[in-house]
């Protein structure tokens, strides 16, 4: 049914979700690369998380810690250490 509908490419666009293996962002410093911080992999909720992300990242850059969340849970190393966060509501 849908395959027979006409499509005007000028009125169509696509956006790809940037997914991580546990569907949560990578947030914080990169080990062994001083001064390089990550804030990516937000899947389908990066706009909603943007204000908190800015606050957390500025805290981490300025003082190395934040009282907003347990930021170590979102560290890049969680994948290599098999400490991924279980997520049941994937968006």
Which residues make up the interface to ligand FAD (CB under 6 A)?
Answer: 15-17, 40, 42, 44-48
Residue with the CB atom nearest ligand FAD in the bound state: 46
Instruction: Using the minimum distance from each CB to ligand FAD, give the nearer residue, 13 or 81.
Output: 13
Question: Please, are residues 64 and 81 in contact by the beta-carbon 8 Å criterion?
Answer: no
For ligand FAD, which is the closer residue by CB, 4 or 22? 22
Compute the radius of gyration of the chain from its Cα atoms.
17
Q: How far is the CB of 8 from ligand FAD (least distance, A)?
A: 19
- The residue among 7 and 47 lying less far from ligand FAD, judged by its C-beta, is 47
Question: What is the nearest approach in angstroms of ligand FAD to the Cβ of residue 23?
Answer: 11
């Amino acid at each position: 049914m849908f395959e027979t509908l006409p499509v005007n490419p000028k009125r169509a666009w696509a956006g790809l979700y940037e997914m991580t293996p546990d569907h949560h962002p990578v947030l914080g410093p990169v080990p062994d690369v001083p001064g390089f911080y990550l804030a990516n992999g937000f899947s389908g909720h990066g706009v909603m998380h943007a204000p908190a992300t800015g606050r957390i990242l500025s805290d981490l850059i300025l003082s190395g810690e934040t009282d907003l969340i347990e930021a170590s849970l979102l560290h890049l190393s969680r994948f290599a250490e098999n400490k991924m966060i279980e997520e049941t509501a994937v968006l």
